[in-house]
Chain A
Amino acid sequence: MKLLTHNMLTSHVKGVTKGYPLLIKATEVKVNEVEFNPQFVSRMIPKLEWGALVQAAEELGHRQDLPGELVQDYEKNEDFLKKVHRVLLEVEVIEGCLQCPESGREFPISKGIPNMLLNEDEV
Chain B
Amino acid sequence: MIWSLTMSKTKYDRQLRIWGEVGQAALEEASICLLNCGPTGSEALKNLVLGGVGSITIVDGSKVELGDLGNNFMVDERSVGQSKAKSTCAFLQELNDSVKAKFVEESPDTLIMTSPSFFSQFTLVIATQLVEDSMVKLDRICREADVKVVFVRSYGLVGLVRVSVQEHTIIDSKPDHFLDDLRLNNPWPELNSFVETIDLNVSDHVAHKHIPYVVILVKMADEWTKSHSGNLPSTREEKKEFKDFVKSKMISMDEDNYKEAIEAAFKVFAPRGISSEIQQICNDSCAEPSSSSSDFWVMVAALKEFVSNEGDGEAPLEGSIPDMTSSTEHYINLQKIFLAKAEADFLVMEKRVKNILKRIDRDPSSISKPTIKSFCKNARKLKVCRYRTVEDEFSNPSVTEIQKCLADEDYSGAMGFYVLLRAVDRFTANYNKFPGQFDGGMDEDISRLKTTALSLLADLGCNGSVLPDDLINEMCRFGASELHVVAAFVGGIASQEVIKLVTKQFVPMLGTYIFNGIDHKSQRLLVFLKPEAFQGAIKAINERILSVLDDSGSGRVDMGMHVLNDKRKRVAFEALMWKPVKEGSSQITKTDAEKYIKLLRAIYMLEAHGEEEEITFNQFLDMLDDPDWGFGIMSTVLRLESNDRNRHGSQVCSVCRYPIIGSWFKEVKARFSLCSQCYSEGKVPPPFKQEEDYRFREHGSEAEAMKPKCVCFSVQSHKKPIATRKKQRN
Question: Do A and B share a complex?
Answer: no
Q: Which residues of A contact B (CB under 8 A)?
A: none
